[in-house]
Amino acid sequence: MSTAVFADEVVTEARVRYLRVPGLAGEIALVTLDNGHDHTRPSTFGPGGLASLDAALDEIAAHTPAPAAIAVTGKPFVFAVGADLSGVPAVTSADQAREMAETGHRVFRRLKDSAIPTFAFVNGVALGGGLELALHCSYRTIASTAVVAFPEVFLGLVPGWGGTQLLPDLIGIDAAVTVVVENALAQNTMTPAPKAARLGIADAVFEPADFLERSLEWAAGVLAGSVAVSRPEVDRTAWDGAIERARAVVAGRTRNASPGAVRAVELLDLARHGVDGEAFTAGTAAEDDALTDLLTSDPLRASLYSFDLVNKRAKRPAGAPDKGLARKVTKVGVVGAGLMASQLALLFVRQLKVPVVLTDVDQARVDRGVAWVHGELEKLAARGRLSADRLNQLTGLVTGSLSKDAFADADLVIEAVFEELSVKQQVFAEVEAIVSPECVLATNTSALSVTEMASELEHPERVVGLHFFNPVAVLPLVEVVRAERTDDATLATAFAVGRALKKSCVLVADAPAFVVNRLLTRFLGEVTSAVEQGTPVAVADRALDPLGLPMSPFELLTLVGPPVALHVAERMHEAFPDRFAVGEGLRRMVELGKTSVYSEPGVVDPDLAGIDAGDSPLTGEQVRERAVEALAQEIGLMLDEGVVQAVQDVDLCMLLGAGWPFWLGGISAYLDRTGVSERVTGARFLPRGVASLPA
Amino acid sequence: MSSRERPRPLREVVFVDGVRTPFGKAGPTGVYAETRADDLVVRVIRELLRRNPALPPERVDEVAIAATTQIGDQGLTIGRTAALLAGLPRSVPGYAIDRMCAGAMTAVTTTASGIAFGAYDVAIAGGVEHMGRHPMGEGADPNPRFFSEKLVDESALVMGATAENLHDRFPHLTRERADAFALASQQRYAKAVANGQIGPELVPVATRSAEHGWGLATADEPPRPGTTLEGLAGLKTPFRPHGHVTAGNAAGLNDGATGCILAAEEVAAELGLTAGMRLVGYGFVGVEPEVMGVGPVPSTERALARTGLTIDDIGLFELNEAFAVQVLAFLDHFGIADDDPRVNPWGGAIAVGHPLASSGVRLMTQLSRQFAERPDVRYGLTAMCVGLGMGATVIWENPAWEGTE
């Protein structure tokens, strides 16, 4: 492969040493994979790394006397984490993509076909191509603290350097489906070493303190015949059932909208023919085809763009002020003791480990809120997530008070009271009378104006929005809202707190419903209005399936809760009456106290009969078109209004706050590649090549 | 008055087993150049436990690890850090100990005394010195009074210079005798390796090299098997022009770690641990710092006097060879020939190396293994000189002795 393709590759060098091991007559050729950086930059394989491994194997083949075994291990704490994806943007042709696939296969296969026994000593994390390298070896040891995973399907790829063929042949198809497909689609769940060994991925587990010494000793034992390696028999009759299960997982998690997941299942299916000789050649050729197609596809580029946003932009929020301006937060007040407020109290105490005081209007509510937090802490302790000492500490830090006087020495007070501007204004006025002038006042409002909330205060510059998403413990996004008069110190403190809470913060302007709720409300509004004009609920609710969103529109409505959805919709209607309607059906749901349009799966609640009684029904395709065009329009307007710094922040919000999938690039990549953004706004959101194939 | 009513009998202490890492040459090209000192100790502790599965880890009552320079990877109370890193239960305590070259030896006598007294049943004692990462005297800040009040001569802090001083004191201990002794050390070591006598006590250590990849240390790096008298005679005398002490007749600068299991004899029996040696007694004595190498003479006299033995009772000697002249001074004092086969039969530190605080347990491990081969020998002695003018001697009895009282 031309070196120009991966000009900036951090090359993982394969370094060979010939070791004398006690109890072994010959030598073991030990290959160390090391990219010259510490563990924060794990070793990966680009063309240079593969060439280095190839050269190392050449050298070993030429070495006399021939070693008794070849072993591969990693630099401290890391085995190898797979292909170097940083070079993918430069892969522009199918030929280049195929060469990348074939080179990995060719080099790794040298280990599988080696006449000399081969060992992988998996000393640390082994992902993707790293794990595939290990699977090509005759035997594997693993450090007890290591983890392994195939993140490819999570990224929209396939484990295409032999992984889809070798893993099922080693551990059986059902476990392979779990590792390759199910885990990857469950937030990229990794497999810890002990479990990897139970599955048969590794033959022996050793503690890290003397992992390499024990691995070499074990290898010597295997070579001498004094250590027996037993592996479970692979059940060849299990294929059909497991593949069916894999298809169901992919359909459930992606609606088959991610080509990588679909291709991975096809490849796993093919592995039923085993990995001997011609069968393996055929299997790896199929992997080459899949990788070639996927590497030159827009959804993969969108995934890599998403991955980059989540891993880089989310950690360095655009527009955030200098970190040095942040003030210390040593005590937190929470106004309100309802479920949202209690969730916030739990999050603050767990992550900040500072006193958290809950207040509310009556003692019973306060007590209930505090008891809920204490109960959640107990549950965490019962699950082993908190030590007894930590439980005591955190429990003691959470208290309740009827009087806001308890906030006197707080550095941050967040309110989560009823969504009514006047109520919130009054709360902030009462708090301001007690706290220091520097105390940050934060609101968790989902749709009210933060600027108006601050308008009557003596120090409006200390007010900021911290918009969390429900469930607070799970969703990683916080929209940090800069109101008109919010000062940099307040904003910096908000970002610092967000980071300390282990959330990803995105800076947003004080615009109605900020980013996530604005887009979800607009989108949901289009679907509900389609229903009101006569589209059957079932048609409308399934119309977005081809995008592979994590839930259908009406499932989303149930998650958000119709009252919250109605509140936001009303607020948006006030702000933008032309684009945001308040559906009658939604009002009816709230009036009737319904949490879902369905009374049971697939059956519209009889009490809501007639919500789709209009006379101009749309097809699913028309609903989808309307919904995605509405999204494009709304994003265009948000960018014009300066709600975010760039469209990347909209995407980051949808990825982290709504769980929208990587292959849509949040959403802008999808809108660009389907031509919707150009049709609606006259231009793409992102230039070609950023979240799509280059021009 | 104490209300204690239990009697306090002294208990016999046994040396159960000893291991060590292969010794390396200190410096950027040495085998351990990129390996941490604490990791060397961790390997030793884990190997001791692996080789003695009858010892439940929670029965270890103390981990005493010596190091001369107790900073960086040899700091932070290395006995405790190594115990934690080795995976011993958290209930097992540890501490760091320092008597320079006699560090591990002192770790043994101190924990053994605790066992005899009844405070411990089982202890791990050992030492480490990574002289590549911690050059001799690193961070030292000698009090200026040492010199202003002439408490010591300036040469007292330079070990090679103290060895030259010893040649001055004993002019008949010539450079030729020192070189001949050094050559014999190399030859005896090589023979012991060839016979498989040295090797079984070694713990293989994975060695990191960013440039070359992982390696595995399985053999000592310092020995120079090709040494000849002519070669030795041609070496420079870095501590004094036209002096006596050379790189060839002294121990080098080395990296390595050692460790051993000590137990009350009755506890060893209860657990089914085999005893390699039984502790008879020990002595530490100070001498003039300018001639620290003579230290083992008075410390041995004291140990013999306190145990009621004479030098003739000792059938095997494991003497640390910091400098050939310093061993010769010992032999000369006790009327033992330079080439007596009872003395360092498997060679000594001149060949194998001397990672300061670790060496004491190397001597003991070696003596214990010789005891097993020599049921005709009842008593053995381990001794070494110590910087700032001290000697250290520990006398051991062979449980395999087949004689009669």
- The ipTM is 0.95
- Whether B212 has its CB under 8 Å from any CB of chain A: the answer is yes
Burial of A327 (0-12, 13-18, 19+ CB in 10 A): middle
- Distance (Å, whole) CA B285 – CA B383: 12
Q: Is B215 in Cβ contact with A17 (below 8 Å)?
A: yes
- Distance (Å, whole) CA A345 – CA A348: 5
- Whether B211 has its CB under 8 Å from any CB of chain A: the answer is yes
Catalytic residue among A13, A99, A152, A432: A152
Q: Which CATH number fits domain A328-507: 2.60.40.420, 3.40.50.300, 3.40.50.720, 3.40.140.10?
A: 3.40.50.720
Q: Is B85 in Cβ contact with A32 (below 8 Å)?
A: no
State pLDDT tens for residues B47-81.
Answer: 999 999 999 999 999 999 999 999 999 999 999 99
Residues 6 or more apart whose CB falls under 8 angstroms from that of B50 comprise: none
pLDDT of residue A3: 42
- Distance (Å, whole) CA B100 – CA B120: 25
Name the domain count of chain B. 1
Q: In 3D, which of A269, A313, A296, A66 has the Cα closest to residue A174? A: A269
Suggest the residue from A15, A16, A18, A19 to mutate for an interface test with chain B (most B CBs closer than 10 A): A19
Cβ atoms of B246 and A252 within 8 Å: the answer is no
- Whether A342 has its CB under 8 Å from any CB of chain B: the answer is no
Query: Once rounded to an integer, what is the mean pLDDT over residues B286-309?
Result: 98
The single-letter DSSP state of residue A35 is -
- Distance (Å, whole) CA B316 – CA B201: 19
The single-letter DSSP state of residue A178 is I
- Distance (Å, whole) CA B152 – CA A517: 81
Which residue type occupies B304?
L
Between positions 434 and 453 of A, the ones with CB within 8 A of B are none
Residues in chain B: 405
pLDDT of residue A635: 98
- Distance (Å, whole) CA B230 – CA A121: 47
State pLDDT tens for residues A214-270.
Answer: 999 999 999 999 999 999 889 999 999 999 999 999 999 999 999 999 999 999 999
Does some domain include residue B186? Answer: yes
Q: Is B42 in Cβ contact with A30 (below 8 Å)?
A: no
Does some domain include residue B155? Answer: yes
**Is beta strand A191-192 parallel, antiparallel or unpaired with respect to A147-149?**
antiparallel
CB-nearest to B215 from A19, A210, A211 is A19
CATH classification code of A3-296:
3.90.226.10
Between positions 132 and 191 of B, the ones with CB within 8 A of A are none
Cβ atoms of A183 and A189 within 8 Å: the answer is yes
What is the span of the domain harbouring residue B311? 151-197+280-396
- Whether A209 has its CB under 8 Å from any CB of chain B: the answer is yes
Q: Is A217 in Cβ contact with B204 (below 8 Å)?
A: yes
The single-letter DSSP state of residue A64 is S
DSSP H or E stretch at residue B282:
strand B277-286
Structure tokens at A665: 């690039």
CB-nearest to A34 from B213, B215, B216 is B213
Cβ atoms of A365 and A340 within 8 Å: the answer is no
Distance of CA B97 to the CA centre of its chain: 14
**Average pLDDT over all residues of chain A:** 95
Cβ atoms of A465 and A505 within 8 Å: the answer is no
Residues of B within 8 A of A209 (CB-CB) are: 42-43, 46, 85-87
Query: Once rounded to an integer, what is the mean pLDDT over residues A376-396?
Result: 97
Angle between helices A94-112 and A277-295 (to 10 degrees): 150
- Distance (Å, whole) CA B387 – CA B99: 8
Does A328-507 match A3-296 at the fold level?
no
- Distance (Å, whole) CA A34 – CA B94: 35
DSSP string, A182-206: IHHHTTT--EEHHHHHHHTS-SEEE
Does some domain include residue B301? Answer: yes
Distance of CA B376 to the CA centre of its chain: 24
Residues of A within 8 A of B214 (CB-CB) are: 17, 30, 32, 73, 212
- Whether B375 has its CB under 8 Å from any CB of chain A: the answer is no
Which residue type occupies B207?
T
Cβ atoms of A102 and A61 within 8 Å: the answer is no
Q: Is B43 in Cβ contact with A212 (below 8 Å)?
A: no
pLDDT category at A5 given cuts 50, 70, 90 is low
- Distance (Å, whole) CA A680 – CA A628: 10
Q: In 3D, which of B24, B203, B18 has the Cα closest to residue B105? A: B18
Q: Is B210 in Cβ contact with A209 (below 8 Å)?
A: no
What dihedral angle (degrees, nearest 10) is formed by the CA atoms of B198, B199, B200, B206? 150
Does some domain include residue B162? Answer: yes
Query: Once rounded to an integer, what is the mean pLDDT over residues B183-189?
Result: 98
Is the pLDDT assigned to residue A433 strictly greater than 60? yes
Alpha helices in A326-420 (DSSP H): 339-352, 363-382, 388-397
Residues 6 or more apart whose CB falls under 8 angstroms from that of A248 comprise: none
- Whether B200 has its CB under 8 Å from any CB of chain A: the answer is no
Query: Once rounded to an integer, what is the mean pLDDT over residues A268-288?
Result: 96
Chain A residue with CA closest to B200: the answer is A22
DSSP string, B336-373: --TT-TTB-TT--HHHH---GGGHHHHHHHHHHHHHHH
Residues of B within 8 A of A22 (CB-CB) are: 204, 218
CA distances from A448 to A51, A341, A442 (A): 58, 17, 13
Residues of B within 8 A of A16 (CB-CB) are: 213
Which residue type occupies B185?
S
pLDDT category at B202 given cuts 50, 70, 90 is very high
Residues 6 or more apart whose CB falls under 8 angstroms from that of A517 comprise: A446, A447, A568
pLDDT of residue A176: 98
- Distance (Å, whole) CA A132 – CA A157: 14
Chain A residue with CA closest to B42: the answer is A209
Does some domain include residue B218? Answer: no
- Whether B88 has its CB under 8 Å from any CB of chain A: the answer is no
Query: Once rounded to an integer, what is the mean pLDDT over residues A179-207?
Result: 97
Cβ atoms of A158 and A260 within 8 Å: the answer is yes
CA distances from A527 to A608, B199, B255, B294 (A): 16, 78, 73, 96
Q: Is A210 in Cβ contact with B42 (below 8 Å)?
A: yes
Does some domain include residue B166? Answer: yes
DSSP H or E stretch at residue B38:
helix B37-51
- Distance (Å, whole) CA B251 – CA A387: 51
Assigned CATH class of A516-642: mainly alpha
Q: Is B42 in Cβ contact with A19 (below 8 Å)?
A: no
State pLDDT tens for residues A50-105.
Answer: 999 999 999 999 999 999 999 999 999 999 999 998 888 888 899 999 999 999 99
> Tokens 């959101």 — which residue?
A685
Domain containing residue B161: CATH number: 3.40.47.10
Is the pLDDT assigned to residue A185 strictly greater than 90? yes
Suggest the residue from B85, B216, B218, B221 to mutate for an interface test with chain A (most A CBs closer than 10 A): B216
pLDDT category at B8 given cuts 50, 70, 90 is confident
Angle between helices A163-171 and A259-270 (to 10 degrees): 50
Is the pLDDT assigned to residue A7 strictly greater than 80? no
Cβ atoms of B38 and B250 within 8 Å: the answer is no
Cβ atoms of B361 and B258 within 8 Å: the answer is yes
Query: Once rounded to an integer, what is the mean pLDDT over residues A563-574?
Result: 93
Alpha helices in A642-692 (DSSP H): 647-657, 668-673, 676-681
Burial of B205 (0-12, 13-18, 19+ CB in 10 A): buried
Query: Once rounded to an integer, what is the mean pLDDT over residues A529-556?
Result: 94
State pLDDT tens for residues B255-278.
Answer: 999 999 999 999 999 999 999 999
pLDDT category at A1 given cuts 50, 70, 90 is very low
